Chain A
């Protein structure tokens, strides 16, 4: 018989009520948003009752405006730095064997290689053995342990590279560090709800809503901000001049014709800074004040004591900001960086130094900026289109199915409410294609109802009475509804897995729309039809 058990009815209506409750905050978007902001900031939050859910559908960048960047981390740079740091250890070990293997000399190698020329190439095997003893164990891919370095020979040269397992471990560390530092820098700039995600092996996606342009974001996160204090060997005006092994030739930041020859291994690095603040020097020009941690202060104090009268270079990202002469030993652990800054630059430099330097540089593969007005225009247009499309479908359904059409329409309204409820619950992001997904779902959501209603019409022809016709209508339409929606859901799932950015947002709304529309068609509409039927007990039925 046409009947739905009491507990099922309770579950159906409770689900609807719950979904609509979760959708409710979106109706008061501005109010709830400021409430949530206040709560996040730990302030007294007002303007929204605390017993109600306060989850909102996030608006994607294309709707809210903001900046989007996809960056690739140059992971190999870290290999080179690692091996560079390994050189003193290798040198000491090989020197002890100087009598057998002869004189050793570091050569310029490719990226990710440490190349050492051996005096007696016939003793290469011994040299490899010696360097091999310096290897440390790392967990390998297969779960066992393996060495962190690979030592090989090429002619007179001994070549040290990182092993595959060590490279993977290093990659993970580099990515984690990069993410952390980018997050700190974006947070320091005080923007809200940034998205900072690792994508694949070496990519980072950064989305900051409300930012004026992607360029602003690039200025903030695109530079390594590696600050070092290095020994100056000499000056040159020749950009291609030879610097000598262990030295490098770096340009001066404020003079395009001046180059410094500098010892490659720094005295102190920005890693040992504890604080940096924008300030002004004695002449009132913008500068940055910094303070070292204990070990940094000791190293810097020692160095400046030993080198009074010599120049030393303050290097930021391979450019010499300034090369002052040490006049007195600096033992207090703090100092000031002067250069050709304006106030905005000194503020930014201080921010970058506080957040720390990126372990490797970033290359940008994709950047998008959407202005807030364009996003607002899209929201407005989308809203109107939704309302008009919605009204058209409602009218059309009523004209086609009468009373049953009204049931389907109520179910459709509940359906959209449930969709927003689900989107808010999972904190999904609504994008412009996502709005299209909602509109499409409005059109397609009635499909399950139409299938049932058409089936009831057919069953009525065979005249088994209205109750039986309704029952059979639901029963027989079910397999078509299930098959049709599972196939569509499968394509939505594939879109979600393969898609990027806004397309993913579309897949989410489409997929959720399928779930809610099947639920409303086979449970909600049915419950309404059953209740109506129990009250009216019609002898004949017109669908």
Chain B
């Protein structure tokens, strides 16, 4: 007996409530943008400049006492957060301390870090600092620029590739889904105020790749079915294609999520934010390739005569034999 997450033959109508789905997506996009605009993102030092110090002690961490010890140094905005992780030993207590970039200092002043470390040693003598990272404002500004550029270029390249391989309507559908996924991911980072750093940009681009992977598989089937069923309504063709690929869509999402969830639970706190972004992205990406990409395609319409292969039909690789 085989495990089947999706029945052998499905005939869901994915467009019956297309207004609802597009409405839900639009609402989520608006909420994400609103959250990002109003409360902003919790930028890590990669993007904001400043210093983060990871402190480990065998005595429980008293955030208030730490704050009091650091107060006299007048370092401006200091945030102290205790970190929890199932992989920590019983006597392992970890805190993450973040100091804002100090005025007028490009290079990171190590004496500031040294002062802070000795101040903390007074209240927790066995405290250790397994990682200290500082980024100057100059570099962080450049990192933001190149990160935004990377996401924009990735989306543009994908747009062009799908346009070449399919039709422009497909490209718009796919990119609509991508933008949707990226905005929703940024939105959840803003809503939950999870630290947004360089690794999250990597996660965002991976989500772009993953979501696209899903969308392209559906579109590939749509293209095939458009050739086969020349008289069928576009919405029927789309529905059929999504149903035919549904089993695969679910299978792949589940295997990827299995791997990611194990990393989320067991992979340690350092990459948890990064993995969270990817898990969220895989779920959103799967949803969007069905509901956003295909609905967009349905609204835009496509040319129906696929009988004559031409360059833009994307036949150039289709008959490669392995």
Contacts and interface: CB of A to CB of B under 8 A. Distances in A.
Interface of A: 62, 70, 72, 213-215, 218, 363-371, 373-374, 377-378, 380-382, 384-386, 388-390, 392-393, 396-397, 399-402, 432-433, 435-436, 439-440, 442-444, 446-447, 450-451, 454, 457-458, 474-476, 478-480, 482-488, 490-492, 494-495, 498-503, 506-507, 510, 522-523, 526, 542
B2 A478 contact: no
Contacts of A402: 2
Contacts, number: 250
A490 B322 contact: no
Interface string B142-170: 01001101100110011001100100000
B23 interface: no
A523 B322 CA distance: 7
B150 A498 contact: yes
Contacts of A487: 158, 161-162, 209, 212-213, 216
B36 interface: no
Interface in B168-221: 198-199, 201-202, 205-206, 208-210, 212-214, 216-217, 220-221
Given A444-B213, A480-B220, A494 B202 contact: no
Q: Is the interface of A mostly helix, strand, loop or mixed?
A: helix
A491 B154 contact: yes
Interface of B: 2-5, 8, 54, 87, 106-108, 110, 113-114, 128-136, 138-139, 143, 146-147, 149-150, 153-154, 157-158, 161-162, 165, 198-199, 201-202, 205-206, 208-210, 212-214, 216-217, 220-221, 224, 244-245, 247-248, 251-252, 254-263, 265-268, 270-271, 274-275, 278, 314, 317-318, 320-322
Contacts of A476: 224
A526 B321 CA distance: 12
A439 B139 contact: no
A378 B268 contact: yes
Contacts of B149: 498
A494 B202 CA distance: 10
B247 to A, nearest CB: 5
Nearest to B149: A498
Contacts of A378: 268, 270-271
A204 B258 CA distance: 41
Nearest to B85: A381
B136 A366 contact: yes
Contacts of A450: 248, 251-252, 255
Contact of A526 (B5, B150, B322): B322
A366 to B, nearest CB: 5
Contacts of A482: 317, 320
B150 A443 contact: no
Contacts of B252: 443-444, 446-447, 450
Contacts of A485: 213
B278 A447 contact: no
Contacts of A542: 2
B205 A377 contact: no
Given A213-B132, A479-B317, A492-B209, A436 B271 contact: yes
A498 B130 contact: no
A62 B198 CA distance: 14
Given A399-B2, A479-B314, A482-B317, 9 more contacts: A215-B113, A365-B107, A385-B266, A400-B2, A446-B252, A447-B248, A479-B318, A483-B165, A484-B217
A390 B263 CA distance: 10
B206 A491 contact: yes
Pick the 5 closest A-B CB pairs, nearest first: A443-B256, A371-B130, A381-B268, A443-B259, A389-B262
A368 B314 CA distance: 47
A385 B263 contact: yes
Contacts of A218: 110
Contacts of A458: 244
A433 B278 CA distance: 12
